[in-house]
Chain A
Amino acid sequence: MRIHKTALNTIIISTLVGLLALALGLFGLGMKFANGAQAAFAWGPLLLAILAALVVSFLFGWLRYGVSGALTLAVAVLHDQLLSLAMCAIYSLAFGLSGHAMPLLVAGLAFTYLFTVPVIRDARAQLMANPSLTREQAASQAVAAGRPLKVAVTLLSALVLLALAVGGNAQMYGSLLPLLSGLIAAALSSHLISPYIWAAGRPGRRRR
């Protein structure tokens, strides 16, 4: 399995963001909460939730799209959850997080599914419709074909976040940061990681 340079570079950048957040945490600057909201935050359930999401997504992907689809979905889930966690730690220096940070971080999974599932489905469909395509070409075509929908969903999600933020103060922004991080992470991974991870998968037996 050879992963494309773009995907590798994106994963490296995401890892750097994660390391920056980790360094901030080690220096006592990570994950700032407002008004005692840290009482509602626990690492145990959050990490358990990420692990469970990873396993369920892999199994779901495997059943629906085979091993390469399962790997793509699982990598996207892991990447998006960890990156949004890291982004939250960095943003929280400006806006303290709220007591709802933990569930809203996990809620970012909705964006991962909204953006990654169509890429996997469309890439498979492209490959089945035109067997002469390479997996990389199929993935690129899937990304291009899904762009209008992705733009529309991103815009709608951004408008939802804007509507929720309007009239609110720093406390409100702190509440919505995990969702915003989830949206950014999912938009990034579905464009720069998922297609290449799927393309790097071993070609399966094609249906006649």
Chain B
Amino acid sequence: MAKKTTHKKLTVNRKLVAVVTLLVALVLSIIFITLGFTGRQMDAQGLYKLLPWLPGPARQADWRQALVPGAGLGETWVSTFSPVGEEAPSQQLLDRAVDVLARRLNDLGWTDAAVQVKEGKLVAILPKAADTAYLNKLLAIPGEFTFTDPSGEVFMDGSQVSEAGFGFADQSGTNLALTLQFTAEGKQIFGSKSTELIGQSISLRRDGVVLVSPGISEPLTQGQVSIPGFNMESARENAVLLRSGALPFALELDGEGQPGRPLMGDRVQRTLLIALGILFLLVAAYFLVCYRLAGLLAAWMLALQVALSFFFAGLLGAGFTVLTLSAIMLGFVVTTFAILKLYLHMRTGLRRGRSLRQTLREGYATAGHAGLDVMVGLLLVSVVFIIMNLGLITVFCELFAITLLLGLVITQLLHRLLLNETIHLFGTKSSLYATTPTKKEA
């Protein structure tokens, strides 16, 4: 005889689930944002520390270690270089020298550093956070490269090098090779000279000093060579100098330099952060006034998006520059667009007397897809730019792609989930979600 079983219906208190979900999300968000402003010591000795990553206007703040300010928005170091020689260089030569120095700085990643001509001297404005001693040394190097035969006769110079790079020469990990690609003329000269000098060597000199003298075992007629015998630092330095070209005249550093103001204005950092804070408050106030509970949720999501964007900017080492801020703020605009598009649809639906749940379901299927399309489209373009490795464009797209991904997750998953929980907790009364009174459709 079969045993009689009693089926007890399991009931879930939906409101309790909503409260727990919202509370957990809120507590996690508050902890994350607070850590963003304060950072945290990870051990008693202070060896490991989670740096704060959310910029605030206070002068003494550690966030500048996570988001190192560039010369545009942070304090600078001003180095002055004087031309060596009795005759003052022409304006054309000075302009050429500015270009060479700017190329060197740009090549090392200091894209917002500046080089100016002042009273016949060259002034380099460098970020204070940079290794200014190394940069000053690098900027003063004339950078004239020559190729000589064993007798010391010059047969080619650096102007015939079209591209320069470096890479590992063997498995040791310490021997690096300078890889050079020649112009058409350089290819011909180097090809014939290397054919002539088989069994001997060709020396690469920088400013008259021999860097390496590799032996020639076969004719090198391909227009590109790989020269081993460098360590990481010298290979990088020589590649940068070859790419920038030689200075048109010799320079010497006047003293050690002095601290300077940010390039974009005296108090730009503080004013900018206050202005961005006010902007965020304005957007949050707009959402709160127009969409009440849903608006509160939107403000919460946007705050989370900004906090996460700065977190990833810190992780990527993006620095505190206009480029970083632009990527984060564009991500903010796209996320705001996606939420606003959904809310406008929700408000229209409520005005027509539709139920909140129905309107939201429709909204995510129609208006919500507009935000999704914009984010996915831009994400695709960004990923293509990253794959194509387009220099500064790629640097920008790396952070922008992350802000778009965050926007996608926040608007399509987190916002949707929390809005549903909010509705479960507070009910579907339309006046809680839109300001305008609802009218039943006739």
Contacts and interface: CB of A to CB of B under 8 A. Distances in A.
A64 B295 CA distance: 30
B234 interface: no
A149 B377 contact: no
A175 B322 contact: yes
B390 A156 contact: no
A187 to B, nearest CB: 13
A100 B392 contact: yes
B388 A52 contact: yes
Contacts of A166: 271-272, 275
Interface stretch (A21-29, A111-119, A131-139, A192-200): A111-119
A113 B375 CA distance: 9
B378 interface: yes
Interface string B376-404: 11101100110010111101110010000
B202 interface: no
A176 B323 CA distance: 10
Contacts of B329: 160, 164
Interface string A30-60: 0000111111101001101100110011001
B106 to A, nearest CB: 5
A125 to B, nearest CB: 7
Nearest to B125: A35
| Residue among B337, B340, B366, B396 with most chain A CB within 10 A | B337
Interface string A157-169: 1011011101111
A185 interface: no
Interface string B270-294: 1110011011001100000000000
Contacts of A110: 330, 333-334, 378, 400
Nearest to A172: B264
Nearest to A175: B322
Instruction: State which size class the interface on A falls in.
Output: 35 or more
Interface in B341-357: 341, 344
Given A99-B111, A110-B330, A40 B102 contact: yes
Contact of A106 (B366, B369, B370, B385): B385
Interface string B104-122: 0110000110111000000
| Residue among B105, B322, B333 with most chain A CB within 10 A | B322
| Residue among B103, B111, B384 with most chain A CB within 10 A | B111
Contacts of A160: 279, 329, 332-333
B388 A99 contact: no
Interface of B is mostly: helix
B268 interface: yes
B99 interface: yes
A163 B340 CA distance: 21
A65 to B, nearest CB: 9
A156 B333 CA distance: 7
Contacts of B279: 159-160, 163
A109 interface: yes
Contact of B101 (A36, A37, A52): A36
Nearest to A153: B337
A200 B338 CA distance: 28
B263 interface: yes
Instruction: State which size class the interface on B falls in.
Output: 35 or more
Given A100-B111, A106-B396, A37 B102 contact: yes
A42 B103 CA distance: 11
A150 to B, nearest CB: 10
| Residue among A40, A53, A110 with most chain B CB within 10 A | A110
Nearest to B383: A56
A64 B326 contact: no
Interface in A3-35: 34-35
Contact of A103 (B115, B278, B337, B395): B395
A204 interface: no
Contacts of B366: 125
| Residue among A36, A48, A104, A114 with most chain B CB within 10 A | A36
Nearest to B244: A39
Given A102-B392, A117-B374, A163-B279, A49 B385 contact: yes
Given A35-B114, A52-B385, A107-B326, A157 B333 contact: yes
A171 interface: yes
Given A99-B112, A100-B111, A164-B325, A118 B370 contact: yes
A87 interface: no
Nearest to A105: B393
A179 B325 CA distance: 12
Nearest to A162: B275
B373 interface: yes
Given A153-B333, A167-B268, A35 B373 contact: no
Interface in B222-242: none
A185 to B, nearest CB: 15
Contacts of A56: 380-381, 384
Contact of B265 (A117, A156, A169): A169
B106 A39 contact: yes
A100 B370 contact: no
A148 interface: yes
B275 A163 contact: yes
B390 to A, nearest CB: 4
B181 interface: no
B125 to A, nearest CB: 7
A202 interface: no
Contacts of B397: 103, 106
Q: Which 6 A-B pairs have the closest CB atoms?
A: A167-B271, A36-B102, A35-B114, A39-B102, A103-B396, A163-B275
Given A49-B393, A149-B337, 7 more contacts: A40-B106, A102-B393, A117-B374, A148-B344, A160-B279, A167-B268, A179-B326
